[in-house]
Structure 1
Amino acid sequence: MSRVSNGNIVAGIACGMGAGALWGLVFLAPEVMRGFSPLQQAVGRYLAYGLLSALLIAPRWRSLAARMTPRLLWALAWLALAGNLFYYVLLASAVQMGGIAMTSLVVGFLPVAVTIIGSREAGALPLRQLAPSLLLCVAGALCIGWQAVVMPGPGPVATRLIGFLCAVGALASWTAFAIGNNHWLRRMGDMPAQDWNLLIGLATGAQALLFLPVVLVVGLGDHDAAAWGRFAAVSFAVALLASIVGNMLWNRMSRLLPLTMVGQMILFETGFALLYGFAWEQRLPTLLEGAAFALVILSVVTCIAAHRRPVPADAAIAA
């Protein structure tokens, strides 16, 4: 069984932590732009992402365009939709209806799905060695699910339940993206990870343009110049920090770590999103939120430990 070097693990974790710190801002943006609809926020952010991607990729476009095949274009289109537009509309809806803490902790359930699927890859650790990490993550998700649906909170129960379901939808969408993106990154091994990120940015920007008429038909709402200025500033800031720099770090991490470990790294995003959310709301976590946070952190630690331990010969054969 092939092993991942400790140097790659350390570098991969550092990239995952950096991506998580920047991606955590994504959960704060819907609160900062609460007056704007989730679709408006998604279209604004990804128009900015597409524009920045076009500017950055322009010097290398001719060589990259020669590699565009129908299959690759289709892959970029569905990854852009699943990992960006569709995901962000669901995430922004969940934040506005259920809060930052609930949404970030539901999305933090991603490692369970990705790790289970990744365990079927050749050379992956068997599930029984990852069981402690998975069980801790499941326990954390149960804590936040119970608080989101059963415990008292702001807003009607029905609204919080819809927000919870939107967060679950965002989780499913991002799971599909994480697995598909990892597959294509490895398949396009000779392409720089940042070029791949910028190609997805171009695809996402094109899709955002297609949704722009829908936003105009639905209506832009009653916003003054200051609100639109804040909307533009937040859209470009999130596009640059999360979509350009954060995705670059994530793609780099995806090439350094096995898929079973890639999923665990999303928990850095969960942690930073929680910290940003509590700071924004000027409160401390509830008991269940604190328990969920501790459980998902322990999940990451046990997963890292499993990948650093020598694997017995019989486990390698079983995998």
Structure 2
Amino acid sequence: MVFLAPALTTAFSALQLAVGRYLLYGAVACALLLPLWPALRAQVDRRAWLALAGLSLLGNLVYFVFLAMAVHWAGGAAAALIVGMVPVVVAAVDARRPTALPLRQLAPALCLCVLGSLLVAWAALGHGAGAAGDAGKDIGQRVLGLLCALAALAAWSGYSIANVVWMRRYPHLSGHAWSLLTGVATGAIAVLLLPLALWLGPLGQSQGQWLHFAGICALLAVGASVLGNACWNRATRSLPLSLGGQLIVFETLFALLYGFIWQQRGPTLLELLAIALLVGGVVLAAQAHARWEKIHG
């Protein structure tokens, strides 16, 4: 949904969308954390809060602001393509560890993911500017959008790696608790950014537009942030880093699915081929990890 939300809230800036989403995320996280806090208080030290603040800034606010600008300026397909390269970046970084699955054994899976992502972008952009919602964008806007997508890729890759590292330092905290603590930290940062978002953002929205905006922010806060982060934290704690990175390819697939629903059309044959390549890459990666774990324990 994070790829579709910017297209549904064009009357608001990327920073306003990020601040709105994370204010609500912080509020919901606080409410859910209250009954758990007496048991967690002694387990969350100052170092954990500083880590959570850094992770929140990088993986939530910075990432989502750049992603929203990329969708506005380059279109959802291009943004999904570039952010969909997270598996390549994460696997390449993780392969440097002596005990990790070597990059050469992941190469077939990574090649399929890269090829599938390229076909996704080609198919979506070739479907027509009107269908993709990119009409009226000049080359300068597209270049800025692609640069923003690259920045979002860097932010999310860095977050994916750092989040796993910090979660392993606090194994007594569940993935759900870590997600709620991240929400509290993100909400606090969003409060600080609220005056800036209102000052720099566009003016003159109607009451109906604000209600629509609030609904989208609430959907993102509960669905993508509270539930999505809890599932992601559980997955990355249970899986090797490079395999967890591979699974982010499903974000690209769902970005396409919701995009098709929004555009009221089905995928073309080329798009179906791209989806098959992306899923095939994940399956090959899972098989490679299964073989590696069987041999090396």
TM superposition score normalised by structure 2: 0.89
1:151 positional shift: 10
Distance 1:219 1:311 in 2: 50
Does the Cα contact within 8 Å between 1:149 and 1:161 map onto a contact in 2? no
Pick closer, same or farther for the CA change 1:283–1:102 going to 2, 3 Å. farther
Supply the AA of the counterpart residue of 2:290: R
Distance 1:311 1:222 in 2: 58
Match of residue 186, structure 1, among 168, 171, 177: 168
- Relative to structure 2, which stretch is displaced further, 284-293 or 134-143? 284-293
Matched, 1:109 2:85: yes
1:158 positional shift: 1.8
Deviation sequence 1:250-302 (CA, Å, 0-9, x none): 11111221111000110111101111012212245567655543332221121
1:46 positional shift: 0.2
Match of residue 97, structure 2, among 121, 134, 139: 121
In structure 2, the residue matched to 1:239 is 221
Match of residue 172, structure 1, among 151, 154, 177: 154
SS in 2 for 1:66: helix
Structure 2: 5+ residue runs without aligned partners?
130-134
Deviation sequence 1:141-193 (CA, Å, 0-9, x none): 44466789999843212212211111111111000111011111222111111
Matched, 1:96 2:69: no
SS in 2 for 1:46: helix
In structure 2, the residue matched to 1:74 is 50
Structure 1: 5+ residue runs without aligned partners?
1-24
Distance 2:270 2:51 in 1: 39
In structure 1, the residue matched to 2:245 is 263
Alignment map for 1:28-107 (pairs within 5 Å): 28-107=4-83
Distance 1:111 1:65 in 2: 35
- Relative to structure 2, which stretch is displaced further, 197-206 or 182-191? 182-191
Distance 2:120 2:174 in 1: 38
Distance 2:233 2:83 in 1: 19
Supply the AA of the counterpart residue of 1:165: L
Pick closer, same or farther for the CA change 1:196–1:173 going to 2, 3 Å. same
SS in 2 for 1:223: coil
1:106 positional shift: 1.4
Deviation sequence 1:112-159 (CA, Å, 0-9, x none): 011111223353211111110122223334446678999984321221
In structure 2, the residue matched to 1:215 is 197
- Relative to structure 2, which stretch is displaced further, 136-145 or 51-60? 136-145
Deviation sequence 1:196-216 (CA, Å, 0-9, x none): 101110110011011111022
In structure 2, the residue matched to 1:132 is 108
Does the Cα contact within 8 Å between 1:94 and 1:166 map onto a contact in 2? yes
For this pair of structures, how many residues does the alignment match?
291
Pick closer, same or farther for the CA change 1:200–1:311 going to 2, 3 Å. closer
Does the Cα contact within 8 Å between 1:77 and 1:204 map onto a contact in 2? yes
Distance 1:292 1:103 in 2: 16
Does the Cα contact within 8 Å between 2:77 and 2:121 map onto a contact in 1? no
Distance 1:29 1:184 in 2: 29
Matched, 1:226 2:208: yes
Pick closer, same or farther for the CA change 1:176–1:310 going to 2, 3 Å. closer
Does the Cα contact within 8 Å between 1:149 and 1:160 map onto a contact in 2? no
Matched, 1:200 2:175: no
SS in 1 for 2:160: helix
Structural RMSD (CA): 2.5
SS in 1 for 2:172: coil
Supply the AA of the counterpart residue of 2:23: L
Does the Cα contact within 8 Å between 2:26 and 2:184 map onto a contact in 1? yes
TM superposition score normalised by structure 1: 0.83
In structure 1, the residue matched to 2:132 is none
Alignment map for 1:14-25 (pairs within 5 Å): 25=1
